[in-house]
Amino acid sequence: MPEQLVFAMEVTLNGLMTGVMYSLVALGFVLIFKASGIFNYAQGVMALFAAMTLVGIQDGRVPFAHIINEVLGTDIHYFGWEVPALLAILLTVLVMIGFALFVQKFIFRHLVGQEPIILFMATIGLAYFLEGVSDLMWGSEIRNLDVGLPQGINDTIDQVTFEIFGYGFFIDNLDLWATGIAAVLVAGLIAYAQYTKNGRAMRAVADDHQAALSVGISLNYVWILVWSLAGIVALVAGIMWGSKSGVQFSLSLIALKALPVLMLGGFTSIPGAIVGGLIIGVGEALFEFSIGPLIGGATENWFAYVLALVFLVFRPQGLFGEKIIERV
């Protein structure tokens, strides 16, 4: 097999795994957008906040230590205990549910029926607010996140591919795990939406508010639910990216990666978010591998957007959206 093709296979595999992560972030957007028509600009900051909270709880940091010390004249920073990863994750989930309750009660409940652009602006405000809260609670230094996921090259894949191709693929264990977990989460979400009472209510609200109300569904409850789920998705995304490159402000920029995925997959389609994420993950990896060297590299920064734009011109409704036919 030609050497270039083997390299391309490795690149594709890695691209697929990055793509699953993009899908995951995009899914957070889709959940909220479908149910409430809100494009949640804060989704990326939610991932940052969730990851910061997780690390903070794990390390036993005192939240708002800076303010507390300032006001009381104390100098405390740690409780002096460490919380096991699993428990810390559960506690962080609770924090994200609390955040969902807060967002619904204090912001979006008061904005029902407003123009989408107003709702969008509100989420921009929310993003900066949450960033500030995150800084106040946990500080803004870069943190290491370690929930015990294995890291480093996967030896089995390395050996097997070496025997077949005479070249060992470099696949990171962390990427493998991240892909697996993301896949399970996505499958779980789909099953949840399909078969449970809450999931059915979610789909109903996504389809028609008036009809949902008439069968006894509380919109408020469903909105809290989707914000909670989006918070959990943000936490998982935060764990994956944070484990790889540390928890810091740039983590919130993963939201920017989800945007082209949404343009490709459509803002309301769960399958669209998944397939869109995979296409962009593989597309940008292959493009960087094949064309990148010719034009000086770093094509990942813009390729996804160009791909999405080209796509948008030909299929404005996204991969799985119904064709939009203008009524005249």
Nearer to another protein, 142 or 184 (CB): 184
Nearer to another protein, 72 or 210 (CB): 210
Distance, CA of 2 to CA of 166 (rounded, Å): 11
Distance, CA of 131 to CA of 137 (rounded, Å): 10
Of the candidate residues 5, 117, 215, 324, the single one contacting another protein (CB under 8 A): 215
Determine if 325 is a binding residue for another protein (CB under 8 A).
no
For residue 87, the SS3 value is helix
Q: Which stretch binds another protein (CB under 8 A): 106-114, 154-162, 169-177, 203-211?
A: 203-211
Of the candidate residues 88, 217, 226, 237, the single one contacting another protein (CB under 8 A): 217
How many CB atoms sit inside 10 A of residue 193's CB?
19
CA nearest 46: which of 181, 185, 239? Answer: 239
# of chain residues touching another protein (CB under 8 A): 21
Nearer to another protein, 211 or 310 (CB): 211
User: % helix / strand / coil in the chain, to the nearest 5?
Assistant: 75, 0, 25
Determine if 72 is a binding residue for another protein (CB under 8 A).
no
Minimum distance from CB of 73 to another protein (Å)? 46
Q: Which stretch binds another protein (CB under 8 A): 40-48, 60-68, 178-186, 198-206?
A: 198-206
Determine if 219 is a binding residue for another protein (CB under 8 A).
yes
Contacts of 165 (CB under 8 A, 6+ apart): 1, 6, 9
Determine if 200 is a binding residue for another protein (CB under 8 A).
yes
Determine if 196 is a binding residue for another protein (CB under 8 A).
yes
Nearer to another protein, 205 or 308 (CB): 205
At residue 297's C-alpha, the angle toward residues 292 and 302, to 5°, is 90
HEC string of 32-71 equals HHHHHCCCCCCHHHHHHHHHHHHHHHHHCECCCHHHHHHH
Nearer to another protein, 202 or 308 (CB): 202
Determine if 70 is a binding residue for another protein (CB under 8 A).
no
Per the CB < 8 A criterion, the answer to whether 235 and 95 are in contact is: no
Site residues (vs another protein, CB under 8 A) = 195-198, 200-201, 203-204, 206-208, 210-219
